[in-house]
Amino acid sequence: MFLLRKEFRHIRRNTFIARAIIAVPIIQMLVLVPAVTFEVKRIDLAVIDSDHSRASRELVAKLSGSSFFAVAATPQSVREAESMLFAGNADMVLVIPSDFSEGLAGLTRPRLQVLVDAVNSTSAQLAWTYLNSVVRDFNRDVLLSGGSPPGQAGGMIMSSGSMPGLSVLPHYWYNPTLNYKYFMLPGILVILITAIGLLMSGLNLVREKESGTIEQINVTPVMKWELIASKIIPFFIIGLFDLALGLSIGWLAFHIPFEGSLLLFFACAMIFLVAVLGMALFLSTMASTQQQFLFVSYFVMMIFILMSGIFTPVESMPVWAQQFNWVNPVAYLMRINRMIMLKGSGFHDIAMDVGLLSLLATSLLTLAIRAYRKRA
């Protein structure tokens, strides 16, 4: 169709856009996937050892022996340690009391004090968990070597944790090594096609409004649906192309496993693109300049992406936020992508999400077409 040919011509002519279509997925995948990770690689630990015993040195050695901790300093006082924490030279402070080794022998009940820089609550949580597991491990070693009565020793060092002698060996399904990249990659693919679908198509329409060319088209016998189709189809194709490109990069660069059906994956992406393009069309009917459109859609996109559960699990959001996700197409595809890619879910497993997403896509597109009045 000639309207489509014209759209592709516009895209080809605009060398910047044409290049961006290729470059954006590559950059996004290669930069964001490894960068946006919650894995805490190195925690700088400051240790105040008031005990100076063999046992305390063993604990410190055990901590620095783990790949997560590095003993960055050994300050003399809590005060000094606090200032290091404050200056950012240490992420965590461990205070070993002077009665530590006595406690291990079961004579007193000493307490390890831990100060964590919790500006980033996620990494603080992780650091705490790591420390906990190392200390628990240490405890068990002490118990096994028959140092003290079990109950006492367990309660002594850490108040939390499991019963001594019983260790929990978690086995993480679907992502056995807890590789954060595997978790992020499907999500970043969703961001990629959201941005392309929403911004590129919407801006294209608003640009025609801004330059007045839409008026010129409107006085011709071109039908409403023809014009809308010519605005949606190119970006639908580009969205799928970029998705395929992004996925290939994920596969080549990060060896992301793909458990499920590729066909189902792309089918869901198509439904999602219809929803996003419908939204772009709707927003573009409300805006009369590209600036207005960009501002509104950026805002909408932010909300949709941040609430979709890309970083934080939806289940831990407040109830109203979870309810909001009923109308958030990004949340559906986020879930669907992860299920298909990591879990290998078949259509049966995600039927509910696919159904709701389709419903959402249809209603968004209908809404957009209604809002898009060719006349007046």
Partner 1 sequence: MKAVEANSITQRFGKITAVDDITFAVSEGELFGFIGPDGAGKTTLFRIAATLIIPSGGRMTLFGLNVVSDYRELRNHIGYMPGRFSLYQDLTVEENLQFYATIFGTTIRENYHLIEPIYKQIEPFRERRAGNLSGGMKQKLALSCALIHKPRILILDEPTTGVDAVSRTEFWEMLEGLKKEGITIVVSTPYMDEALRCDRIALIQQGRLMGIDTPEAIRTSYGRKMWAVSHPDRYRLLLALREIQIVSNPEPFGEAVHITLHEGTAPEDLNRKLENTGIHGATIKETLPGIEDVFLELMRRKPEEKSL
Q: Residue holding tokens 């996925």?
A: 247
d(CA 175, CA 182): 7
Least distance between partner 1 and beta carbon 12 (Å): 10
Q: Which is nearer to partner 1, 7 or 353 (CB)?
A: 7
Amino acid at 86: F
137 binds partner 1 (CB under 8 A): no
Maximum CA pair distance of the chain? Answer: 94
List, as one string, the DSSP characters of 129-187: HHHHHHHHHHHHHHHHTT-S-HHHHHHHH-SSS--TT-------SSSTT--HHHHHHHH
Under a CB-based contact definition with an 8 Å cutoff, are residues 310 and 190 in contact?
yes
Choose one: 2-10, 148-156, 304-312, 316-324; the region binding partner 1 (CB under 8 A). Answer: 2-10
The site map against partner 1 for 6-45 (x = CB under 8 A) is: x--xx--xx-------------------------------
Least distance between partner 1 and beta carbon 221 (Å): 5
3-state secondary structure of 255: coil
Least distance between partner 1 and beta carbon 9 (Å): 6
87 binds partner 1 (CB under 8 A): no
Least distance between partner 1 and beta carbon 208 (Å): 9
Q: Which is nearer to partner 1, 211 or 248 (CB)?
A: 211
Least distance between partner 1 and beta carbon 215 (Å): 6
Considering only residues 170, 221, 313, 318, which one is a binding residue for partner 1 as defined by CB under 8 A? Answer: 221
d(CA 56, CA 36): 36
3-state secondary structure of 241: helix
213 binds partner 1 (CB under 8 A): yes
Query: Which residues contact partner 1 by CB under 8 A?
Result: 2-3, 6, 9-10, 13-14, 211-213, 215-222, 375-376
